[in-house]
Structure 1
Amino acid sequence: MNILNKPFDTEFHTAPFSKIENKHFLPAFEKAIEKAKKEIDEIANNPEKPSFKNTIEALDFSGEQLDRISSIFFNLNSAETNDDIQKIAQEVSPLLSEFSNDITLNETLFKRVKTVYNEKDSLDLSTEQKTLLDKKYKGFSRNGANLPEGKKQQLRDIDKALSKLKLTFGENVLAETNKFEMLITNEEDLSGLPEGAKEAAQQLAESKDKEGWLITLDYPSYIPFMTYADNRELRKKLAIASGAKAFHNDALDNQDNVLQIVKLRYQRAKLLGYKTHAHFVLEERMAKTPEKVNSFLNELLEKAKPAALNEFNELEAFAKGLDNIDQLQKWDGSYYAEKLKQKRFNLDDEKLKPYFKLENVIQGVFTISEKLYGLHFEEISTIDKYHEDVLTYKVTNDKGDLVSIFYADFFPRPGKRNGAWMTSYKPQYVKNDENSRPHISIVCNFTKPTKSKPSLLTFNEVTTLFHEFGHALHGMLANTTYPSISGTSVFWDFVELPSQVLENWCYEKEALELFATHYETGEVIPMDLIEKIKASSTFHEGMQTLRQISFGLLDMSWHATASPESITSVKAHELEAFENTKLYPDVAENCMSTAFSHIFQGGYSSGYYSYKWAEVLDADAFEFFQEKGIFNIEVATKFKEHVLSQGGTEDPMILYKRFRGQEPKPDALLKRAGLIEK
């Protein structure tokens, strides 16, 4: 029997990665879909009167095997993919899309759900059960259950096409990232680059049997070069290559994919009775409407733009004075910003990196989690993993009970997409009186150890690790009954609160002293460096805010427009969307949308604004911690009980107010960003 189609006979029932072969996936999916269909048929054709237990609850626990196989497969497709897996993904995605539609367009099943939904006021349901009932009903109605038969088929066709387009989009971006290599053979061209980055580039060249130093579009290679390399022409070459991903009018071009995805999403929304895709998406978000999102972004823009323009003009004058640069270009920004930052704060990442050895930062985030939430992390080697770089941990509470299994995957490799993310291999839920604990993973792309140095993180990488770990805590501490509303299964503009709030500890002396020690001497990070980190935390905050707003506005311009069919040029549309947030001259060869994986491959369509939205929440929440003490157990317990453990059991604003005692105020964010007076 296929190993994926039977219960995993492993410690903690973790995925048996080393025994799974690519050839197992397709037949396993087919069999699991067949099994899940039978489960659905049993629920739909149950002769008993529809009830919460035999319909809604049964539905939420159905397809468990299929969900497990899907999570393993699609996580591998992001973190350890290859040609075979990508080919299987193209075959499997339409099958899953079709199966999903088989459920939501099943009239008999929907009748049962509707019966329970219409009787909800007379049923004695808990808050979580009411939320689940509402979610299940909307899952049907928002996915075409009320449509006439002909339109249901139209919806199926759209969903099938979208699932394939999104996969192709992501594959093209990954292929473009892997394809570009800049081999440097003259050491003078590396002037300015830190020794660690040079050594990593040399090791990368060696690993590919090349002489010299290899620079790629992977972040640990790309970012240091753009920040420190003195050779402006090579920075330009690298920046243009990065900005031109999937924008070459060739086989890996994503322009048509973008237009197709946008049009199909719009058609889908119209079919379901919504004005645009954004109206459809935002109905299930804290923001509720595109108007409110645009108003939120434009209000922030009004506050941030004057600061951003001042910062940009200052940076331009600085570059002019230093190197007689008349016009600051995109490939100059990070380079001169780093030089200005060093001049102003006498602080640069190379001074900080020795204090942020990866292993110490990991231990630091574990210690902070122990102090706040009573969690204990034990590295164990008996858990199977999908790559030798992956670290595996058993997470327990103060009583020794299992809380979660935790996977951490930190270094770039060819089969792994860029960026950082948290995901899950198994959700938390309660079934047959047993609290089944989650299997959580974080995936990052940090600088690898070299022959002479361990993995030393930039401060930005430190905050990234804390960010993803904040998501992981949301998954680990989940304590709900039903899998579909457990952990990070919350409104999309609430999901970034746990991740972004944890970043705040990276700037606090009390927290830094727990883990920021010099990798050679063991010396704790000096107080003056901590003060400089704090002081520099608002450096170029206006420009950073403007950048995030520009991405949010671009997302809304694609998804809140009432006539996407009329868009013929991806580049022209993008330029128009960026008009009010533009600082640098446009680069003709570049286009952001063709590699904007968050909104065209991931789940952020009509949701990119949520990063800034959640910043309002996280600044307000952290202000509460600061008032009482950043390790205050009372505040931490409130956050754990009312936010981290609750998943999507209630409206997020209700959960937040229960923790904070009031609605969030944007003032805390604006003060922290230095955009208004403290």
Structure 2
Amino acid sequence: MTSISPELHLVDFANTAPNTLQQQVISAIDAANAFLDELAITVDNKESANALDTKQALTDIKNFDHINLALDRSWGILSHLNSVMSNDEIRQVHHELLPKLSAYGTWVGQHQPLFSRYQAIVNDKAFFAALEPARARAIELALRSFELSGVALPKAEQDKFAAIQSKLSTLSATFSDHVLDATQAYALPLKAEQLAGLTESGLALVADAGEQFKAREIASGALTQAEIDALPTPYYVASLNIPVYLAIMTHADDRNLRETLYRAYVTRASEFDEHANAKGESLNNADIMRQILQLREQKAKLLGFDNYAEVSLSTKMADNVAEVENFLRDLAAQATPTAEQDLAQLQKYAQDYGIKDLQPWDSAYIAEKVKQSEFSLSQEEIRPYFPLAKVVSGLFAIVERLYGIKVKEQSNDSANKSVNDNTDEVLASRWHDDVRFYQLFDADDHLIGGFYFDLFARSGKRGGAWMSGFQSRYTYAEQDHQQLPVCFMVGNFTPALDGKPSLLTHDEVVTLFHEFGHGLHHLLTQVTVGDVAGVNGVEWDAVELPSQFMENWAWDAEGIALISSHVKTGAPLPKEKLDALLAVKHFQSGMQMLRQIEFALFDLLIHAQTPALDYDGILTTLNSVRQDIAIVQTPDYNRFANGFSHIFAGGYAAGYYSYKWAELLSADAFSKFEEDGIFNPMTGKAFRETILSVGGSFPAKVNFENFRGRSANIDALLRHSGFADAKNHTKNQTKNSAAANASTTSKVI
């Protein structure tokens, strides 16, 4: 077993109870408030800020940062558990704490004595200039955060701001609850004839969903054990959990079943969703969305902005709403011709299957038929070549070649054992049996950090995939405190079923690489100032660069050779299937691009609108964006926005465009590897040192230009997307176009 360093400060999940975490959060807030109360009397002007002792001001800031570690830890654990192991107890404690957390955060952001200490450091120009870059950057970002927290507002308006923040935190949590509850409440028992077309793995998934359905019905008292026993075995059930949903939408021959499931998925948490939560309350998010937009607008007005989109962009690389909108619409114009060809191809094949009018619930199904016919490729045929264990070991081999790092897994027999700081060998406790823990080492066996994989879909876990930078790299020399980075990487992949190992689709492989890119950004930082270590302090529209960049190795022949081998025979992916997989990379890329732009433009516009939109206005805006961007008609009942957790319950409000913005960066960064060799160790070293290691200690534009030697341009993105005439695209654009400005303005990279 690999010994685990105490500098990782691992969590004892086996002995972590929600009520204990609640007390820890409250105690941490009380301790931080006590420290703030002891700071000097409020300093109201620049002159008195200058009178503060600068060195003492910096000491106070460092001390306060260190005090907040306890809060970051206890709240981080609780928030994580609420995402991956949600139940009534965890959810109740989590939600009870939200107003207290919000009040504390606002109090800190409006605390004049603390703010004055930051001002004093900046005002002492010689002292500030002598600071290490990471500390200087953290202070600059903190001052901006104070301004965006209303530090300069009159007391009455500060109180109003605090109330808005508190209400927003509660509404966002409720939005997320509704989406999770609506997703997991849906269960559709399937008849034998509805199973036609489903693959072996698909049948295993709906059978597993049936077992989960039985367990829930027994637990809730909806069915007796005798009634459960009377059900057939296996009992097939369709659910809205992503692996099941995609298996049916991609392979089920029953068009009515696909439409039924599609409608259920796109009407979650809307007025068409009749499910209720455990308290019998509606899961409809309509009014919550209205309230969130209204409160965000009020917050923006208090801070002196015209709308919330301006607030969001004030911390990003992009300068203003018009710039982002132009960027998105220009990209849509480039993608549309390819998208129209994509659609025509689907429509042609749909005719062969008796579908005269292609609908959204047909797209994945027909696309799979096209892949099989045009590329001789089926996701199910190649799934056995991507067993999870092989993919993970290959992923680790790839990053070892790129960055000279090594990954070692903690032995599985330590699962759910407690952390024991009194022994030389610390055991990694886990929150679920599926979870795996790893340590990351440099080439000289120097420990870098640790990470957890929680990769399979299950009940009580919110959908999607994400990386949570739970614990940052951090040093507090005054108390000889060393903290190495630790993160959680979470997915909702196809689990092991029927005694077989987990076999991933290539889409799931790409998602794993994406999240691991985020993880490397967090883990490989050399910055020890927590606020700008790893992903912290990185502009939101650049934070996706390392993740999208990492996806490229899942699409390269050399990379695929390392992550694939047949689960039974160990044979490599046959050349014809490899060629087909690489050929299919650009399949439907135009339609996929337009779909993401549709989401991003909708997000931007609803947050740029003033006065704030009501629910009808939200739907009208979405329909308007679809008319401008989409080339496939969407059913009137589609309520995608009601489940758009990224912007209503996550950090992407007026920032969903960041995926496309960062994709431009990542494509151009990878083009350097295409020039030098995708496993070129010197290029990998340069990327690690200029992008991954520096975190948010410098502006993202500076980091990118340090790596690439120039500003980014759009050529590589268009080429990687498979769009025609990409090579000469930027040369033919006018000086005022958004894409041309991407290489000349200070923020449009």
TM range (shorter): over 0.9
**Paired residues of 2:435 and 2:452 also in contact (CA < 8 A):** yes
Separation in structure 1 between the aligned mates of residue 576 and residue 544 of structure 2, nearest angstrom:
31
**Paired residues of 2:690 and 2:706 also in contact (CA < 8 A):** yes
Q: Aligned residue for 1:85?
A: 90
**Paired residues of 2:486 and 2:523 also in contact (CA < 8 A):** yes
Corresponding letter in the other structure for 1:27 = Q
Q: Percent identity?
A: 36
2:459 aligned with 1:414, yes or no?
yes
Q: Aligned residue for 1:100?
A: 105
Shift of 1:332: 0.6
2:165 to 159, 166, 188: 159
Corresponding letter in the other structure for 2:696 = G
Q: 1:44 to 1:308 in 2, by over 3 A?
A: farther
**Paired residues of 2:471 and 2:485 also in contact (CA < 8 A):** yes
2:395 to 357, 365, 375: 365
2:490 aligned with 1:443, yes or no?
yes
Corresponding letter in the other structure for 1:401 = H
**Paired residues of 1:61 and 1:483 also in contact (CA < 8 A):** no
How many residues are paired up? 669
Tell me the secondary structure at the aligned position of residue 650 of structure 1: coil
Q: 1:447 to 1:548 in 2, by over 3 A?
A: same
**Paired residues of 1:657 and 1:663 also in contact (CA < 8 A):** yes
Q: Aligned residue for 1:375?
A: 405
Q: Aligned residue for 2:35?
A: 39
Q: What do residues 613-642 of structure 1 show as CA deviations (whole Å, max 9, x unaligned)? A: 111111111110111111111110111111
Q: 1:33 to 1:77 in 2, by over 3 A?
A: same
**Paired residues of 2:171 and 2:292 also in contact (CA < 8 A):** yes
**Paired residues of 2:52 and 2:117 also in contact (CA < 8 A):** no
Q: Aligned residue for 2:265?
A: 242
Please, which moves more after superposition, 623-632 or 522-531?
A: 522-531
2:277 aligned with 1:233, yes or no?
no
Tell me the secondary structure at the aligned position of residue 493 of structure 2: coil
Separation in structure 1 between the aligned mates of residue 37 and residue 13 of structure 2, nearest angstrom:
31
Please, which moves more after superposition, 442-451 or 246-255?
A: 246-255
Separation in structure 1 between the aligned mates of residue 73 and residue 212 of structure 2, nearest angstrom:
35
Corresponding letter in the other structure for 1:352 = I
1:544 to 572, 592, 609: 592
Q: 1:10 to 1:207 in 2, by over 3 A?
A: farther
Q: What do residues 483-503 of structure 1 show as CA deviations (whole Å, max 9, x unaligned)? A: 111111111111101101110
Q: Aligned residue for 2:298?
A: 267
1:351 to 376, 381, 402: 381
Separation in structure 2 between the aligned mates of residue 307 and residue 612 of structure 1, nearest angstrom:
17
Q: What do residues 224-269 of structure 1 show as CA deviations (whole Å, max 9, x unaligned)? A: 1101110000000000000001012661000001111011111101
Separation in structure 1 between the aligned mates of residue 190 and residue 615 of structure 2, nearest angstrom:
41
Unaligned runs of 5+ in 1: 1-7
Shift of 1:507: 1.4
**Paired residues of 1:60 and 1:482 also in contact (CA < 8 A):** no
2:96 aligned with 1:49, yes or no?
no
Separation in structure 2 between the aligned mates of residue 415 and residue 19 of structure 1, nearest angstrom:
19
Shift of 1:279: 0.7
**Paired residues of 2:606 and 2:613 also in contact (CA < 8 A):** no
Q: Aligned residue for 1:15?
A: 11
Separation in structure 1 between the aligned mates of residue 251 and residue 30 of structure 2, nearest angstrom:
55
**Paired residues of 1:105 and 1:145 also in contact (CA < 8 A):** yes
Tell me the secondary structure at the aligned position of residue 361 of structure 2: coil
Separation in structure 1 between the aligned mates of residue 109 and residue 125 of structure 2, nearest angstrom:
20
Please, which moves more after superposition, 494-503 or 19-28?
A: 19-28
Corresponding letter in the other structure for 1:417 = R
2:517 aligned with 1:470, yes or no?
yes
Shift of 1:341: 1.8
Shift of 1:205: 1.3
Q: Aligned residue for 1:298?
A: 329
What is the 5 A alignment of 1:41-440?
41-44=37-40, 49-51=53-55, 53-120=58-125, 123=128, 124-186=130-192, 188-209=193-214, 211=232, 212-248=235-271, 251-320=282-351, 322-380=352-410, 381=414, 382-432=427-477, 435-440=482-487
Corresponding letter in the other structure for 1:424 = G
Shift of 1:102: 1.1
**Paired residues of 1:412 and 1:445 also in contact (CA < 8 A):** yes
CA RMSD of aligned residues (A): 1.9
**Paired residues of 1:247 and 1:590 also in contact (CA < 8 A):** no
Separation in structure 1 between the aligned mates of residue 191 and residue 355 of structure 2, nearest angstrom:
27
Tell me the secondary structure at the aligned position of residue 410 of structure 1: strand
Separation in structure 1 between the aligned mates of residue 711 and residue 615 of structure 2, nearest angstrom:
39
Separation in structure 2 between the aligned mates of residue 373 and residue 641 of structure 1, nearest angstrom:
10
Runs of 4+ in 1 over 6 A off after TM superposition: 8-11
2:655 aligned with 1:607, yes or no?
yes
Q: 1:337 to 1:44 in 2, by over 3 A?
A: farther
Separation in structure 2 between the aligned mates of residue 525 and residue 287 of structure 1, nearest angstrom:
42
Shift of 1:572: 2.6
Unaligned runs of 5+ in 2: 43-50, 215-230, 275-281, 415-426, 728-749
Q: 1:122 to 1:19 in 2, by over 3 A?
A: closer
